[in-house]
Structure 1
Amino acid sequence: MKGSIISWLLLAISTISIFSDVAATSASAKCLGADQSSLLLELRHSLVFNTSASTKLVRWGRSANSWSGVTCEDGLLVGLDLSEEWISGGINRSSSLFRLKFLRSLNLAFNHLSYSMIPSGFANLSHLVHLNLSNAPFSGQISAELSRLTKLRKLDLSAIHFSECDPLKLEKPSLRSLIRDMGELRELYLNEVDLSVEGSEWCNALSSSVPKLEVLSMSHCSLSGPIDASLLSLANLSVIRLNLNDLSTTVPSILANFSSLKTLSLHNCDLKGEFPQKHTINFFRLPDSIGNLRKLSMLDLHNCSLSGSIPTSMENLSELTYLDLSSNNLTGSLPSYGASRNLTQIYLFDNALTGQITSVGWEDLLNLEYLYLRNNSLEGDIPSTLFTLPRLEEIYLSNNKFSGQLIINPNVSSNRLESLDLSSNLLQGSIPRWIWKLRNLAYLNLSSNFFEDLETPLCNLTPTLLYVDLHSSMHRGNMLPLPSQAICLDFSSNNITSVFSDNIGNYLSSSTMFFSLSMNNFHGSIPKSICKATYSMHLEVLDLSHNLLNGTIPNCLMKASLKVLNLRNNQLSGNIPQNISTTCGLKTLDLSENLLQGQIPLSLANCTTLEILNIGNNQIDGTFPCHFMAISSLRVLILRSNKLHGEIGCAHSPFTWQMLQIIDLSSNDLSGTLPASLLASWEAMKAEVDFNYLQYELYIRGGYYYQDTVSVTIKGLEQKLTKILTIFTSIDFSGNRFEGQIPNTLGDLKALYSLNLSHNAISGSIPPILGNLLQLESLDLSWNHLNGTIPAHLANLDLLSFLNLSNNQLVGSIPDSGHFLTFSKSAFERNLGLCGLQLNKSCSIAMNKTKEAGDDGNNDDNKKKWFFLGIPLGFVVGFWVFCGPLVFIRSWRFAYYRFWDKVLF
């Protein structure tokens, strides 16, 4: 009996389906009357569209039932949907489209109509009830003819504004003129249309013209406040979206009176003051009266400058499905959302919420899919019920104060969790085994906690894990697990003590792009197997810095497709690999603080995309690498504390380092004069650039960045720049044998932040042009042979906070203007000719002493002069006293000869 009933039902369904298909075909056929079918074909031929992307126009006219997007009723064409048909160009006002006079619904949304104006021909379609021209995009003034469409119930002119085109504007006609006769309008969408009107004007226009309005969506329309009370007459409003308008006013109290309101979105409106209450005003708080909006299903007030606590009356919003109060200054604890069983998304991040979340009623939120509570001050345990919610896909609880252990045993088989972020909390104990078995988990971030180990045994890791971040999680012991399909693995800043496995490259996924083991206790040599991952053309960042690795650098690492290679602060020895590939794509290479020897390879110039090169603190020999001049992208060059020698003879190079912002050649054996022409080519040090960071972005989910770091000597101290600003500029040539004068070209580097030329043999005077370096904060010229006076222009350097001119031969008075008086004695000591308050030496006394010393000095000089003049004079006198008689008196001369004859005999 049951089988026969089922058979009859199947037969009935089949019969209904057949008849419905026949009816649809028949209805389509009725649209093929001579007049309407010809108009449609004419329209098709007049439009320019992408035939490979089209799903409707491309099929028109092929058969009786091929009129996709066309709706017929009683033999009349009443609906036309050509959305997302990749139509380009414009629509002519004489188009056959405007002769389809029975159209009641027209949709041209999401096409590419070349930023043309909206044709006035739309006014001919007087029967239109629904008109959707959104995201086409049109531009310019909206035609006044559209006001003739008096039967409209839905009007959507929302635009996508691009910088290369004029925005869609509604000035002439104004908003009031456009909708004045649209009394039947229920839905109005004008997002990103430039209205440029004040609150009282647009509110009065709406309330007086469209009393039946239910949906008001005018985001990013250049509206200004305040929101006028006249809007209250629109009693049927269920959706209000006014995002991204500069309302610059207090939150309007009338909003609490819309009893039919389902969606309220006011984010980024610069609202201030109080949220509305029905009877009283409570400044900077969400009122309890918000619980009266019983039909509210969507509440979006993110970034609205709200403060105060979240009222418990929100528990009454049983229809609420979407809640976004993020990026405000809300305080207090979370209310229970157990009654809001329909909630699917909760966004409360970037607030100042406190307290525990164990009593929120999570077990009742069986529809919850997204939970974002990051960047608050929530504390206590993380409720185990969170991990058992059947629909939950993303949990973000980072940057709070959650503590305790994750001793949870959820029903893994029914859990849909894809993203779990518990980073930057106070969690401790072991990382539980169940996390690694969540069958859909793709993103895991447990970094910056106090997990010390893994719960074992650990096997059968979920194959879906793509992103694992466990940096700074206090893990100790052996190597962490390597998921089979991982794209990003960050295990840095832990206490992992392990030998670098010879076959580690075999366990890295062919998809791995980011791999960091820095700041651990790995020892042993770098295995060649790791090159398998680099040869896969996927690994872009490899960071093994700050470990105890020894041996040599594998040649294969310099031939691979890496963008970032950081081996800093290990115990690597030998030479830098010589045969670097011509396809080198490195942007960051850091080999500093090792035991590397030999010369800098010429083939390193093949890495033409290098931005940061750090080979400092090694035992590198040879001359200055002028072949690096071919790397025009270079921003940071650090070669300090090596054995480089000779002059910087790059004056004739056809290349320049226009992007260079940091150069450190200190503590080498370089000599010769400072390279004036080379300094003149460093354009990035001449003018301020955009504020940014030097970092490498991986084009993967979430926008992963590798943050470059570097150590520089600033203000006499070595400092680590964990983020290298593009505006930071520094030159450090200290600790060499440079001589000659300071070149005037240094005065052109007006964006220079730090200059260190100390411990050299530089002579001459300090160029006054250094007073042009108005951004200079640190200047060290100590331990040189500089003479003359301190230029008064240096007092113009208002930002200068560190100065060292000690151990030179400077004379005269120290400038006593500006902030020069704040520098200590040590900045000027051991310059015997200097005087001033900083040295507690009066310049008038010093001048007298100098003058007296000058007189004594002159006397001494005169004595020395006569002494040295007396030597040749005495020789001349003595010569002629003895030899004169022999020359001029014959008897004396013969007597002299006879004497020597006897002596010789």
Structure 2
Amino acid sequence: MKFWKKEKDCCSWDGVTCNTKTGKVVALDLSNSWLQGPLCSNSSLFKLYGLRRINLSFNNFSFGTIPSEFGQLSRLTHLNLSYSMFSGHIPSEISVLTHLVSLSLSSFLNYDASSLLHLGRVDFANLIQNMTNLRHLRLHQVDIFSSVPESLANLSFLTTLSLGGCNLHGKFPDNVFQLHKLEGIYVPCNYHLTGFLPEFQPSNSLRSSELPSSLGNLTRLEVLSLYNNSFSGQIPSSLGNLTKLKALYLSINSFSGQIPTSLEKLTELNILSLEDNNLDGVIPSLEWKQIAWIFTFPPLFTSISYFLISQNNLTGIIQPSIRKWIGLKVLDMSKNHFGGTIPKWLGSSLEILNLQGNNFNGSIPHEIFTYGSMHDALRVVDLSHNQFQGRVPQSIINCSKLQILNLGHNQLSDTFPFWLQSLPDLQVLVLRSNKLFGPIWHPIKYFGFANLGTIDLSFNHFDGSLPSEYFRNWGYMSKALDGNKSDMIYFGHNEKMSNYEVRYAYSMSVMNKGSEMKLRKALKLFMSIDLSNNRFDGEIPSSIGKLQSLIMLNLSSNNFTGIIPSSLGNLSELESLDLSRNKLSGRIPQQLANLTFLAYLNLSHNTLEGPVPQGTQLDTFSYSSLEGNPRLCSSQLPKKCENTDTQIPFLRKDEEKESENGFTWKVVAMGYGCGFVIGAVIGHVTLSRRSSWFWTSFVGSTFVNKRLGKELVARNSH
């Protein structure tokens, strides 16, 4: 370890705890220590026989297996190997650790099932059969692929059970819910798991559970997470009896009817998530004397921080009572039927404001970006798909931490907001489908977007030309795309509270490859420029070839003239290119054949001419990608090229020179075939890299080196 120094007593090392009387090592906490590489069975770790606690969570053991030698550490009471990139079968030897109080083997969701930890039903039953002292069992995302063994109900001391995403099926044992000490059950994302929740008695200790008919008896409940199920009917009014409730997740169900007013009793509620249901009616507004329910709080105090009610059928206006929610961080009322204007007082402490997909109208008040502390914290503003009019408020420039601004699909009428370039963290800018007009370049006002990764100005009335150096200062798009941890920005809010995690993820739709797609975590990695359906003219700037991380480029339905810049061939990550319905002329540059990731191409309805480069990926695109260019010829177009044009495949200059020096076309063809194979392999590797965008990258020092490990063993043997 980096901070372990040989000259010091190992009991003073970070993460090492010794028995003060015997001097033996009894606990090792190396969580979040950037450990990397497989954990070998001959590691000195397994000679620390006095160990009672081991925490190796949140490291990178390179998808190695969990060594069976953990079974030698018979005194262990706590074993935590969660989220540390282990894979393979969980060794049965762990079942001999009869003193275990806490076992945590949770893993990350992985698109490659072969790198998951896994257990079978028999193995699961055997694993826990001797662990009669177990209080915490966490196997989140371990592939169990079986029913839940009835023997789980024998763990009479169990307080926490986490089996989310374990591929469980069959009926969940009813008697598990009756374990008297059980405080938390977490079994989401097991889509073939069935069963019924029994009647609960007031003496039951559950603090987090599924929805029972007698839910109101669980008066000690603090977290209720029922998201992503098939519950229907009205939200039971008995929830009002859960006065200790701090978080309520009912999203992604089929609840209907109105939100019950009994929630007024939940004075400690911090999170309310009712997203993606069929709720209707208005948000109630109660009298101040009926204090502290979720929609109306007393003037001097409020507990609500996360208010998520998107994708319902709710109506009405933004209630004045929200003004008193002084601790509100996330307000998501998107995809409902709310209307009226936005109050000027909204959002003194907001970090996320999402009002997308409603019927709000009027102008966007500049005061909401000026007063209070909102401009110091605001990260996401989405007011898209409403009926806002007027100008883009220049007060947005006060929001120095703003990352996402989405004002698309409104009726805004303004010139291009050049001042947005001053926002240092702005990464996503969407002004799509408004009535914005004028140029987007000015010799004095324009200096580039340093951190922008997505810009969508389509379907407006912007005009004018773009100088050849227009994209020169777009620094973030000019960097090579990689999957490092620094690029895995999670748009939204994610924090740890006392005993549960708070998470909000912003998502948005973008146009890609001619269709709409929804992005969530990969927003910062999906580099895109959409200037389509405007009135731009002049040549396409050659500096666009500097944006080497660009994945989608759409300049269609404008008045661009001149040739297609050959610099587009430098956009090695490009997957979608649409230059259709312009006035482009000349030949298709041979450099476009370098775009090996290109999956969508539309060059139709221009005045292009000459042959489409043959023997390249451009051969694979259909007639519709090239139609409307009467002077363009290829095998997939009505106009066929002359033999002199079609018989010569695309060659680099050096290849052309070799051909002139005597190499035959047969050799060239063989070379092209080999190149195709090599390219396919490279493409597969690169695509595999892309599939890891949603992964956190772990790098760091290797596991405890032998010398330091020996010192720990020596200390333990004294």
TM-score (norm: length of structure 1): 0.58
| Aligned partner (choices 449, 452, 458) of residue 660 of structure 1 | 452
Structure 1 794/114 Cα, relative in aligned 2: closer, same or farther at 3 Å? Answer: closer
Query: Does 1:487 pair with 2:298?
Result: no
Q: Which residue of 1 aligns with 2:276?
A: 448
Question: What is the rounded CA distance, in whole Å, between the counterparts of 2:67 and 2:191 in structure 1?
Answer: 28
SS of equivalent residue, structure 2 residue 613: coil
| Aligned partner (choices 145, 149, 156) of residue 26 of structure 2 | 156
Q: Which residue of 2 aligns with 1:588?
A: 381
Instruction: Give the conservation status (yes or no) of the 8 Å contact 2:31–2:56.
Output: no
Query: Does 1:519 pair with 2:332?
Result: no
Matches within 5 A, 1:712-861: 712-717=510-515, 725-844=523-642
Question: What is the rounded CA distance, in whole Å, between the counterparts of 2:3 and 2:330 in structure 1?
Answer: 41
1:768-807, CA deviations, whole angstroms, 9 ceiling, x for partnerless residues? Answer: 2222222222222233333322222222323223322233
SS of equivalent residue, structure 2 residue 124: coil
Query: Does 1:681 pair with 2:518?
Result: no
| Aligned partner (choices 198, 207, 214) of residue 41 of structure 2 | 198
Deviation at 1:725, TM superposition (A): 0.9
What amino acid sits opposite 1:596 in the alignment? Q
Q: Which residue of 2 aligns with 1:697?
A: 493
| Aligned partner (choices 348, 354, 370) of residue 559 of structure 1 | 370
Question: What is the rounded CA distance, in whole Å, between the counterparts of 2:643 and 2:116 in structure 1?
Answer: 67
Matches within 5 A, 1:338-349: 340-349=179-188
Question: What is the rounded CA distance, in whole Å, between the counterparts of 1:586 and 1:666 in structure 2?
Answer: 23
Question: What is the rounded CA distance, in whole Å, between the counterparts of 1:367 and 1:840 in structure 2?
Answer: 76
Question: What is the rounded CA distance, in whole Å, between the counterparts of 1:525 and 1:455 in structure 2?
Answer: 16
SS of equivalent residue, structure 1 residue 762: strand
Q: Which residue of 2 aligns with 1:424?
A: 252
Query: Does 1:401 pair with 2:240?
Result: no
1:70-94, CA deviations, whole angstroms, 9 ceiling, x for partnerless residues? Answer: xxxxxxxxxxxxxxxxxxxxxxxxx
Structure 1 220/697 Cα, relative in aligned 2: closer, same or farther at 3 Å? Answer: closer
Structure 1 426/154 Cα, relative in aligned 2: closer, same or farther at 3 Å? Answer: farther
SS of equivalent residue, structure 1 residue 387: helix
SS of equivalent residue, structure 1 residue 371: coil
Question: What is the rounded CA distance, in whole Å, between the counterparts of 2:43 and 2:285 in structure 1?
Answer: 68
Q: Which residue of 2 aligns with 1:358?
A: 197
Deviation at 1:726, TM superposition (A): 0.8
What amino acid sits opposite 1:217 in the alignment? R
Q: Which residue of 1 aligns with 2:316?
A: 498
Matches within 5 A, 1:133-152: 133=11, 137=14, 152=22
Structure with greater helix share of residues: 1
Instruction: Give the conservation status (yes or no) of the 8 Å contact 1:633–1:657.
Output: no
SS of equivalent residue, structure 2 residue 248: strand
SS of equivalent residue, structure 2 residue 344: helix
Instruction: Give the conservation status (yes or no) of the 8 Å contact 2:180–2:204.
Output: yes
Cα RMSD after superposing both structures: 4.8
Question: What is the rounded CA distance, in whole Å, between the counterparts of 1:495 and 1:623 in structure 2?
Answer: 35
Question: What is the rounded CA distance, in whole Å, between the counterparts of 2:214 and 2:123 in structure 1?
Answer: 30
Instruction: Give the conservation status (yes or no) of the 8 Å contact 1:393–1:419.
Output: yes
Deviation at 1:585, TM superposition (A): 6.4
Question: What is the rounded CA distance, in whole Å, between the counterparts of 1:641 and 1:321 in structure 2?
Answer: 53
Instruction: Give the conservation status (yes or no) of the 8 Å contact 2:315–2:338.
Output: yes
Q: Which residue of 2 aligns with 1:650?
A: 442
What amino acid sits opposite 2:208 in the alignment? L
Deviation at 1:655, TM superposition (A): 3.8
Deviation at 1:388, TM superposition (A): 0.9
Query: Does 1:239 pair with 2:52?
Result: no
Structure 1 508/782 Cα, relative in aligned 2: closer, same or farther at 3 Å? Answer: same
Instruction: Give the conservation status (yes or no) of the 8 Å contact 1:491–1:516.
Output: yes
Question: What is the rounded CA distance, in whole Å, between the counterparts of 1:549 and 1:289 in structure 2?
Answer: 56
What amino acid sits opposite 1:219 in the alignment? N
Question: What is the rounded CA distance, in whole Å, between the counterparts of 1:321 and 1:814 in structure 2?
Answer: 68
Deviation at 1:833, TM superposition (A): 1.9
Query: Does 1:227 pair with 2:68?
Result: yes
Q: Which residue of 2 aligns with 1:569?
A: none
What amino acid sits opposite 1:394 in the alignment? V
Instruction: Give the conservation status (yes or no) of the 8 Å contact 2:183–2:205.
Output: yes
SS of equivalent residue, structure 1 residue 685: coil
Instruction: Give the conservation status (yes or no) of the 8 Å contact 1:238–1:262.
Output: yes
Deviation at 1:224, TM superposition (A): 6.8
Question: What is the rounded CA distance, in whole Å, between the counterparts of 2:87 and 2:494 in structure 1?
Answer: 38
Deviation at 1:656, TM superposition (A): 3.1
SS of equivalent residue, structure 2 residue 636: helix
Deviation at 1:344, TM superposition (A): 4.0
Instruction: Give the conservation status (yes or no) of the 8 Å contact 1:289–1:313.
Output: no
Deviation at 1:684, TM superposition (A): 1.9
Gaps of 5+ in 2: 108-114, 647-718
Question: What is the rounded CA distance, in whole Å, between the counterparts of 1:754 and 1:491 in structure 2?
Answer: 32
Structure 1 681/461 Cα, relative in aligned 2: closer, same or farther at 3 Å? Answer: same
Question: What is the rounded CA distance, in whole Å, between the counterparts of 1:666 and 1:519 in structure 2?
Answer: 22
Instruction: Give the conservation status (yes or no) of the 8 Å contact 2:366–2:395.
Output: no
Deviation at 1:453, TM superposition (A): 5.6
Instruction: Give the conservation status (yes or no) of the 8 Å contact 2:573–2:597.
Output: yes
Structure 1 624/160 Cα, relative in aligned 2: closer, same or farther at 3 Å? Answer: same
1:565-593, CA deviations, whole angstroms, 9 ceiling, x for partnerless residues? Answer: xxxxxxxxxxxxxxxxxx89676374776
1:699-740, CA deviations, whole angstroms, 9 ceiling, x for partnerless residues? Answer: 785445362636x55444566656771122223334445444
Matches within 5 A, 1:5-20: none
What amino acid sits opposite 1:239 in the alignment? T
SS of equivalent residue, structure 1 residue 329: coil
Structure 1 832/562 Cα, relative in aligned 2: closer, same or farther at 3 Å? Answer: farther
What amino acid sits opposite 2:452 in the alignment? L
| Aligned partner (choices 96, 100, 103) of residue 265 of structure 1 | 103
Deviation at 1:837, TM superposition (A): 1.5
SS of equivalent residue, structure 1 residue 158: strand
Structure 1 449/482 Cα, relative in aligned 2: closer, same or farther at 3 Å? Answer: farther
Deviation at 1:556, TM superposition (A): 2.7
Instruction: Report % sequence identity.
Output: 32
What amino acid sits opposite 2:311 in the alignment? S
Matches within 5 A, 1:43-62: none
Q: Which residue of 2 aligns with 1:546?
A: 357
Question: What is the number of residues matched between the two proteins?
Answer: 621
Structure 1 387/679 Cα, relative in aligned 2: closer, same or farther at 3 Å? Answer: same
Deviation at 1:681, TM superposition (A): 1.4
Question: What is the rounded CA distance, in whole Å, between the counterparts of 1:227 and 1:289 in structure 2?
Answer: 13
Query: Does 1:531 pair with 2:358?
Result: no
What amino acid sits opposite 1:402 in the alignment? F
Q: Which residue of 2 aligns with 1:709?
A: 508
Instruction: Give the conservation status (yes or no) of the 8 Å contact 1:731–1:755.
Output: yes
| Aligned partner (choices 52, 59, 65) of residue 216 of structure 1 | 52
What amino acid sits opposite 2:585 in the alignment? N
Q: Which has the higher contact order (CA 8 A, sep 6+)?
A: 2
Structure 1 404/823 Cα, relative in aligned 2: closer, same or farther at 3 Å? Answer: same
Deviation at 1:266, TM superposition (A): 5.1
Structure 1 560/314 Cα, relative in aligned 2: closer, same or farther at 3 Å? Answer: same
Query: Does 1:314 pair with 2:152?
Result: yes
Instruction: Give the conservation status (yes or no) of the 8 Å contact 2:336–2:357.
Output: yes
SS of equivalent residue, structure 1 residue 688: coil
Question: What is the rounded CA distance, in whole Å, between the counterparts of 2:330 and 2:296 in structure 1?
Answer: 15
Structure 1 411/646 Cα, relative in aligned 2: closer, same or farther at 3 Å? Answer: closer
Instruction: Give the conservation status (yes or no) of the 8 Å contact 1:668–1:735.
Output: yes
Question: What is the rounded CA distance, in whole Å, between the counterparts of 1:713 and 1:731 in structure 2?
Answer: 10
* Bigger radius of gyration: 1
TM-score (norm: length of structure 2): 0.71
